[in-house]
Amino acid sequence: MGLYADHRTRMLLAMHSIRWLLAALVIFAAHAADRIRVNANMVVVNVSVTDSYGRPIAGLEREKFRVFEDRKEQPIAFFARDDSPLSLVMIFDSSGSMKRKIAKARRMAAQFCAELNPEDEMALVVVQEQSRLERKFTSDCGEIEADLLEMQATGRTALLDAIPLAIRTLKTARNRRRAILLISDGEENNSHVSRSGIRQLVCEADAPIYAAGLTEGPSDMDGDSGGEILSELIAASGGRYWDLDDRRLEEAAHHIASELHEQYVIGYRAPEGAAGRYRRISVKVNAPHVSISYRSGYFGPE
């Protein structure tokens, strides 16, 4: 009788636990659905604020910021200073136009790797006649540097094709904060994607593109203007362009990494009535002698 009672008690407790767990899962699913709906209607803008020397400015309060969409000011619903881990895709140009610049490009990559935190991760996309994913996300920068040492500058340049590949790769990242670092002379002569198509992808990706440009001197290959292409992509993404020389390698790597780790995050409710069209974003900061960067806009969901 005692054994039967104990067994029955254990069964009742087990059933009660299962019912409690199912109820908790239902509640969790409902809250998760609410969060998804809120996030779907929330426009999130990562804002970098730097001084006249390009150094990130920390400690600004919410009241210092104003955000506009299509020239109409929007109430800020969310504000944070974020230093969460970073997931970054490095696009490294090792096409033929980089023959005289490949050593400097490797040094820039190594300097940037040295600035990353242990929780950060990086993937590597290589640009040659075709763009390819050379290494998936890793927190071991030594693997990335070893890959770069083995590369030779050769072939035509599919630079623009690397952008969609980098954006697809970012979708597999484990960290919420995401960005693209492009190391290239900007030459382009073998891609299949259009500039307008790239611009829309960049606007939708919500990942700033930081470009380290090696545009000095004549190129080994004919192609489009490097600086022009890089500038277009950066303006659409809210990133920054560094025209490298030997003195600025370390400075550029440090400032890019610092800026990525010391951004402000602003969220506001997306206005209704603009489904499917491009919406322009503007951010103002009430602080003297600062530069700000952020994505220029987004395409409203259909």
pLDDT of residue 187: 87
Question: Residue 294 domain-assigned?
Answer: no
pTM for this predicted structure: 0.79
Helix (H) or strand (E) holding 48: strand 42-50
* Residues shown for the chain: 302
User: How many domains does the chain divide into?
Assistant: 1
Please give the chain's pLDDT, 302 residues, in tens.
444 445 454 444 444 443 433 333 333 333 332 232 234 588 889 999 999 888 899 899 999 999 999 999 999 999 988 788 999 999 999 999 999 999 999 999 999 999 999 999 999 999 999 999 999 999 999 999 999 999 999 999 999 899 999 999 999 999 988 999 999 988 888 888 877 778 888 888 889 999 998 875 434 434 455 557 667 778 889 898 888 876 688 888 998 999 998 899 899 998 887 667 889 999 999 999 999 999 888 887 76
Question: Residue 280 domain-assigned?
Answer: no
Question: Residue 62 domain-assigned?
Answer: no
Question: Residue 284 domain-assigned?
Answer: no
pLDDT of residue 164: 94
pLDDT of residue 29: 32
Question: Residue 5 domain-assigned?
Answer: no
pLDDT of residue 25: 30
pLDDT of residue 285: 97
Q: For residue 226, which of 122, 110, 297, 127 has the smallest C-alpha distance?
A: 127
Measured CA to CA, the distance from residue 60 to residue 83 in angstroms comes to 14
Question: Residue 204 domain-assigned?
Answer: yes
Relative orientation angle of helices 102-115 and 249-261, to the nearest 10 degrees: 40
Domain CATH code at residue 254: 3.40.50.410
User: Any residues with CB less than 8 A from the CB of 73 and at least 6 apart, and which?
Assistant: 66, 67
User: Any residues with CB less than 8 A from the CB of 31 and at least 6 apart, and which?
Assistant: none
Relative orientation angle of helices 159-170 and 195-205, to the nearest 10 degrees: 20
Question: Residue 157 domain-assigned?
Answer: yes
CA geometry: angle at 120 spanning 116 and 124, to 5°?
85
Question: Residue 138 domain-assigned?
Answer: yes
Which residues form the domain of 127? Answer: 86-261
